[in-house]
């Protein structure tokens, strides 16, 4: 099932790298926004935490966290072929999609080729110590690799044409299973329940009164 491919623990482990940045962006909001004083303490300087700013900072934090979670969930379950299929469904011209496929295919090849060339130069005794020498060496290797791979890409294109490649990219369509339909129905029912049946405003006010007297 498509939904069961979601790996919650992996997504949360990746979000651990982003959460400190989001926290840093929102931590100062309660100190400047609002009129009602929530807490006030002195650590050499007087720091005041406002109630409105605390609520706003919490709202921004959880919204950004939710958006990042949805974003990471989407890309963690998206395969290479599904990504290309999505580009074709967005009506992006086939020539750009085909160029992107070849580019993504050759990026690791270029990286390995450059690493081998640099390693061979160091084994032959070439001393690369300063930053300028490293930059010059990388530029030379990249330039030579680009020329070589342009010739290689022309040969690849000719071989694809000889095998009948017309430039049109097609994929087999994936079908939804009963589990996917069940999950989708459950979330729709839950959404309707939260919007039309459950009084979220009273719950929100009750929770805020617990933490914000």
Distance of CA 4 to the CA centre of its chain: 19
pTM (global) more than 0.85: no
* 63 vs 9, more confident: 63
pLDDT in tens, 113-151: 777 777 777 777 666 666 677 677 767 777 777 777 677
Residue 38's pLDDT band (cuts 50, 70, 90): confident
Residue 35's pLDDT band (cuts 50, 70, 90): confident
DSSP letter string, 93-132: -HHHHHHHHHHHHHHHHHHHHHHHHHHHHHHTT----SHH
């Amino acid at each position: 099932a498509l939904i069961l491919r979601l790996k919650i623990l992996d997504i949360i482990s990746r979000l651990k790298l982003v959460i400190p940045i989001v926290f840093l962006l929102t931590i100062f909001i309660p100190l400047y926004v609002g009129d009602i004083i929530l807490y006030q303490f002195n650590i050499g300087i007087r720091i005041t935490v406002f109630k409105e700013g605390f609520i706003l900072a919490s709202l921004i934090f959880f919204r950004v966290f939710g958006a990042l979670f949805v974003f990471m969930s989407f890309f963690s379950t998206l395969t290479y072929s599904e990504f290309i299929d999505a580009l074709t469904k967005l009506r992006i011209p086939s020539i750009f999609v085909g160029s992107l496929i070849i580019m993504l295919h050759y990026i690791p090849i270029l990286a390995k080729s450059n690493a081998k060339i640099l390693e061979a130069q160091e084994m032959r005794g070439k001393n690369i110590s300063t930053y300028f020498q490293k930059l010059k060496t990388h530029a030379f290797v990249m330039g030579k690799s680009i020329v070589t791979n342009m010739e290689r890409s022309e040969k690849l294109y000719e071989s694809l044409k000889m095998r009948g490649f017309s430039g049109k990219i097609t994929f087999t369509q994936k079908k939804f299973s009963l589990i996917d339909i069940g999950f989708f129905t459950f979330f729709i029912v839950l959404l309707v329940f939260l919007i039309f049946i459950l009084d979220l405003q009273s719950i929100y006010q009750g929770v805020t009164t617990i933490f914000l007297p």
